[in-house]
Structure 1
Amino acid sequence: MTRLLSSDDQPIWHDAPDPAYPMLSDAIAVDVCVIGLGGSGFACIHELLDLGVSVAGIDAGAVGGGAAGRNGGFLLAGLAAFYHDAVAAIGRERAAAIYRLTIAEIGQMATAMPEVVRRVGSLRIAASPEEAIDCNAQLQAMRADDLPVEPYCGPEGEGLLLPTDGAFQPLHRCRLLAERAQQGGALLFTHTPALAIEGTTVQCPHGRILARHVIIAVDGGLERLAPELCGMVRSARLQMLATGPDPACSIPRPVYTRWGYDYWQQLPDGRIALGGCRDRFAAEEWDAPPKPSVPVQLALERLLRERIGSQAPVERRWAAQVAYRRDSILPIARQIRPHVWAIGAYNGTGNVIGAVCGRAVAHAAVRGDCSLLRLFDPSNA
């Protein structure tokens, strides 16, 4: 275990070298600067290009180098909160509107990149009698609002089938989005951290970007780039491992279990990607660097052997930082200063809702159209 943790911690999705993008080394001027080249950042960039404005995107690391390219590869509709909990927290009308928007977003992703997305559905599997009762409450709430859901009983256990969900290769998608954004006219710079945002000028180590609007589109570490959100947002480490191909296992769709704390999927080539167990070591995982730790990795390996039943060798272990919002189940999607916007804090499931937020904030910044952003405003009862 110690040897493995000291080796390369690239995710299972890292199957090719990082594409080459320049570092910013001069002063440039654009209409909008987007900070963060992950899924939500690229959704924002593409929407801005469609709106006809000039865009520069920067990232402190590589394209998809943060949680966007290091997550479990799940495409889940709705918010991180289970649907009935979302209804209780923000109301039926708003919870249903967000859920339908995310179903549509998954559909758009699958249509745009069929080579990356598998629309196979997902499972929520109960790990206890109490969770089985909760699954039924979710089933009834979703049926009441005519949302796609089915009761499930199969090899994985009993729970729910969410047929509109899916799985994807998240890092490959980020790289394709980057390539298409550059072809569309966006200026992209990697290994270019934002050191400070002064008005709407973004200061970087070797240059600066003068913009009319700045959009911070990061998840983990959002509170560091946007100090206004300290106390409201806090980052945590999520950890995963992946096996070699296991022909003895058949897991046709992503699985969430134990209230969403544990999750896994099997890739088409037979490898298993497994994450979770953070809650068992919660104090150590808050504000932790994105590197695997021995206690969580041992717990994940026990889950792999005892719950999933796979004896395939573990080939990769990795981690990422994601942000959680303390005061609401809704993500951050708001203006934090004049002409400076922030999206993030997706509470662990940002692949789909982050793209919706990215599109919404692009329209709010450029057109003043905040209709979608109002869905994510906790004060908008």
Structure 2
Amino acid sequence: MANTPYPQSYYAASANEVPPRPVLQGEVETDVCVIGAGYTGLSSALFLLENGFRVTVLEAAKVGFGASGRNGGQIVNSYSRDIDVIERSVGPQQAQLLGQMAFEGGRIIRERVAKYQIQCDLKDGGVFAALNSKHMGHLESQKRLWERYGHTQLELLDEHRIREVVACDNYVGGLLDMSGGHIHPLNLALGEAAAVESLGGTIYEQSAAVRIERGANPVVHTAEGRVRAKFIIVAGNAYLGNLVPELAAKSMPCGTQVITTAPLGDEVAKTLLPQDYCVEDCNYLLDYYRLTSDKRLIFGGGVVYGARDPANIEAIIRPKMLKAFPQLKNVKIDYAWTGNFLLTLSRLPQVGRLGDNIYYSQGCSGHGVTYTHLAGKVLAEALRGQAERFDAFADLPHYPFPGGQMLRTPFAALGAWYYGLRDKFGM
């Protein structure tokens, strides 16, 4: 039997202790079988359990093994494509619903942390940093847009003010969102898993779903067992493989890289990010960074289309870190890892139903920490017969990548090269 451990990341090395979870053996019956113990699956399971459903979660590796336990740990509101893009492509009623939900995921995270006393180093405050006047104009428009949907915890930062929150000379200004913030992402997932179990849910690890037997009472098969259910929620995202071929056709796994420094000490850390906010810049191929609770700098960026693992992650990301903080040139990098997220052509999430009883959400497109928590609530509502918000996502138009699965990676990489040039020249 395969035993897939966590990647050698800072998060895995600093994770809270949890009890071992069983491998599925034999047959079990449940109301809902959730495939994937990342944020989408765990959020769905929690909302369903809180509403009286019996829930069984199948995880191919370990809780939070995928993007949920490897990401930058930043709580960022809205979607990978913002509400103005949605307004231009769908009707006003659908846009209004999606706009109202754009800031809900962060609230759900905070509610979960408080209700279940999850220890995940939650901190408030996130900064969008502008590298040029075009970026600053975009942030001014973003502030007006978000305020139109009732999101008011925002402050525009001029060139002087941003120096007070980020010790980087590259920025001309920024936007501070105090409802943003950051967390230890793997510990958040582990805490949510413990909450699932406290409500009577069962999580099986090292229990990959290998086949779904569709029908009125679907069955999910693993190597050593099977789950009979009334409903299935597919929440594998970039790690789903070809389990559901219809979902693979309109999405593409992509990799992003993250490094973590050795501990910097309180004094140095405070000079970099005095208020301990997290930061992401406004480039298409953006960089993002924040401090950990033990005063390391986590710095991420870059995209590898097709989810290949680069041979030397530090060589890719360290120059980006030093461009922002040249004073760290002699600091040792203790951890470097990659993780996959699922990209859609529209960069909006794909939500829907296959037949009458298989539900899915996927394709956060690099913007998943908040959205996945919202998705769990929306999926649970749909299973309870309240489908208005589910339908608002399900009705979003989605298209296959040009060239099909064989050519989607080079076409996407070509697009990224073009936008990378625009980033470089401030276009």
Normalised to the residue count of structure 1, the TM-score between the two structures is 0.88
1:243 aligned residue (258, 261, 266) = 261
Q: How does 1:143-222 map to 2 (within 5 A)?
A: 143-148=147-152, 149-152=154-157, 153-155=161-163, 156=166, 157=171, 158-199=173-214, 200-222=218-240
CA change 1:183–1:94 in 2 (3 A) is: closer
Q: Is the 8 A contact 1:243 1:272 kept in 2?
A: yes
1:268 to 293, 296, 301: 293
Any conservation in 2 of the 1:30–1:55 contact (CA below 8 Å)? yes
1:292 touches 1:317 (CA, 8 Å); kept in 2? no
Are the equivalent residues in 1 in contact too, given 2:343–2:364 (CA < 8 A)?
A: yes
Following superposition, the deviation at residue 86 of structure 1 comes to 4.3
Partner of 1:287: 306
Q: Which moved more, 1:123-132 or 1:50-59?
A: 123-132
**Aligned pair count?**
363
Q: Is the 8 Å Cα contact of residues 118 and 192 (structure 2) preserved in structure 1? A: no
* Correspondence for 1:281: none
Residue 345 of structure 1 is matched in structure 2 by 363
1-structure distance, mates of 2:200, 2:147: 44
**What amino acid sits opposite 1:160 in the alignment?**
L
Q: 1:364 aligns with which of 382, 396, 400?
A: 382
Aligned to 2:324: 307
Question: Which one of 342, 367, 381 corresponds to residue 323 of structure 1?
Answer: 342
**2: CA distance between counterparts of 1:162 and 1:260?**
21
Q: Residue 42 of structure 1 contacts residue 174 of structure 1 at CA under 8 Å; is this kept in 2?
A: yes
Q: Does the CA contact (< 8 Å) of 1:242 and 1:274 recur in 2?
A: yes
Q: Say whether 1:12 aligns with 2:13.
A: no
- Letter matched to residue 150 of structure 1: E
The answer on whether the counterparts of 1:86 and 1:329 sit within 8 Å (CA) in structure 2 is: no
For the Cα contact (< 8 Å) 2:22–2:205, is it kept in 1? yes
Q: Between the two proteins, what is the percent identity of the paired residues?
A: 21
Give the C-alpha shift of residue 180 in structure 1: 2.2
Q: TM-score, normalised by structure 2?
A: 0.79
Q: Is 2:280 the partner of 1:256?
A: yes
Letter in 2 for 1:53: F
| SS of residue matched to 1:141 | helix
Shift of 1:9: 4.5
**Residues 259 and 333 of structure 2 are in contact (CA less than 8 Å); yes or no, is this contact kept in structure 1?**
yes
Are the counterparts in 1 of residues 35 and 209 from structure 2 also a CA contact under 8 Å?
A: yes
Aligned residues of 1:117 and 1:166 also touching (Cα < 8 A) = no
- State the 1:183 CA deviation: 2.3
Q: Which residue of 2 aligns with 1:122?
A: 126
Which deviates more from structure 2 when the two are superposed, residues 22-31 or residues 308-317? 308-317
Q: CA RMSD in A?
A: 2.2
The alpha carbon displacement at 1:356 in A equals 0.9
Q: Which residue of 2 aligns with 1:4?
A: none
Letter in structure 2 aligned against 1:333: V
Given the alignment, which residue of 96, 99, 104 partners 1:93? Answer: 96
Query: SS of the residue aligned with 1:320?
Result: strand
State how far apart, in whole Å, the 1-side matches of 2:286 and 2:7 are.
21
Shift of 1:21: 0.5
String of CA shifts for 1:79-116, please: whole Å, max 9, x gaps: 12245444444555234212232343244244334632
Tell which deviates more after alignment, 351-360 or 134-143: 134-143
Deviation at 1:117, TM superposition (A): 4.8
Specify the code of the residue in structure 2 equivalent to 1:102: G
Partner AA of 2:162 in structure 1? G
Q: For the Cα contact (< 8 Å) 2:75–2:106, is it kept in 1?
A: no
Distance 1:89 1:272, change over 3 A: farther
Q: Unaligned regions of 5+ residues in structure 1, if any?
A: 1-7, 279-284
Map of 1:282 onto structure 2: none
**Conserved 8 A contact 1:222-1:345:** no
Contact 1:334 1:361 in 2 (8 A): no
SS at match of 1:224: coil
Q: Could you tell me whether the CA contact under 8 Å between 2:262 and 2:334 is conserved in 1?
A: yes
1:170-218 Cα distance to aligned partner (Å, 9 max, x none): 1111112212212221121000000010111001001111111111112
Contact kept, 8 Å, 2:285 with 2:302, in 1: the verdict is: no
